[in-house]
Amino acid sequence: MADRSSVKKVTEAAAQAFGLTGGPPEKDGLIKLMNDLVELLSNADGLDIATINAVWKASRKLQSCVENDDLNPAVLADVYLILIGDEQKHTSPKSAAPPKPAPESKPEPEPQPGKPTDEVLEEEISAAPSRPADLAPQAADAKKTTPKLDEKIKVSTDRLDNLVNMVGELLIDGQMVRVGEEKYIIPINNIRRCFRPTEDQISTIHGQREMVLVRNELLPLARLHELFEVEPDSTNPCEGLVVIVEGDNEVCCMLVDDLLDQQRVVIKDLGPLLNQTEGVSGGAIMGDGMVRLILDIPGVIKLYRK
């Protein structure tokens, strides 16, 4: 059975594998790390949900890194920060042993509607521009893959995929939103912030695509009611709410009618007839017995781009 000490051990190994202790990122080390993470997930009885989620998230990112032979320092740093972020939640600030890249002095995270402060903090951590700069020149050297390594990668990724199939269900923190009579759940990890836009923030391109100006950044506006063909309360963005969502390194504004409560939900598989549905990653059974759909934000953005 895994416990906190196993997680700490893996996190320390990660620092070495990612080249944070001086050497270059080691592909062999990354594969070993991925195996360790899979091992943790397989024996996760002694771990709390937040840790399982962190390990899970790190494993998926690492899998994509190793599979694509992309030792991008920024991505590796992300994986490390996810792990270290979880580790720090469980230890006092003084005892945080691994060398977390020192961020520049940051302002207090701005409270965001519908988002708990610790989520904002986590987002700040993963979005911080404090990637270890010394990883960059070493990444290119580590890109050479040998057949033996390829085989190891395959075994690791197969194990992870099997685990995904076996587990089938995962817990997430979700923000429930309403569009007309329908309610959907957006994973909180995908939400940056939400607000009610003013008319001067909305601009149109060629009379079709709409953009929202948020803090000097123009973001596309996806109307969820149009994507999912449901009847909204209002089609005027200034009467609804805009949720800024992020997935697969893409950011998009999503128009909804209302924000409801936040809940921790179990993701349920929709079954073979429906699991290819675009923009939906699964369902959750709510307290009233109804099923609510959990949005797959990268899928919704892809749907919007179509």
Partner 1 sequence: MSNTTLAEGGNHLAGKYLTFALGSEEYGLEILNVREIVGYQKITKVPKTSREIKGVISFRGHVIPIVDLRERFGMEEKAVDDQTCIIVVEHEHDRRITTTGVIVDQVSEVLDIQIEQIEPPPQFGGAARVDFICGIGKMGGNVKILLDIDNVLSSANTTQWAEAAEEVVQITG
Site of interaction with partner 1 (CB under 8 A): 182, 227-230, 268-274, 277-280, 282-283, 285, 289-293, 303
Would you say 46 or 299 has its CB closer to partner 1? Answer: 299
CB of 286 to partner 1, least distance (A): 9
CB of 66 to partner 1, least distance (A): 29
Residue type, 65: C
> CA triplet 66, 159, 173: central angle to 5 degrees?
85
Would you say 139 or 227 has its CB closer to partner 1? Answer: 227
What is the dihedral angle through the alpha carbons of 161, 74, 25, 148, rounded to the nearest 10 degrees? 30
CB of 79 to partner 1, least distance (A): 31
HEC sequence for 79-101: HHHHHHHHHHHHCCHHHCCCCCC
CB of 8 to partner 1, least distance (A): 35
CB of 75 to partner 1, least distance (A): 30
Q: First-to-last CA distance in the chain?
A: 46
Would you say 128 or 171 has its CB closer to partner 1? Answer: 171
Would you say 34 or 300 has its CB closer to partner 1? Answer: 300
| Alpha-carbon distances of 126 from 73, 89, 108, 157, 210, rounded to whole Å | 13, 15, 15, 24, 28
Reference 186, options 122, 261, 123, 110; nearest CA is 261
Would you say 64 or 277 has its CB closer to partner 1? Answer: 277
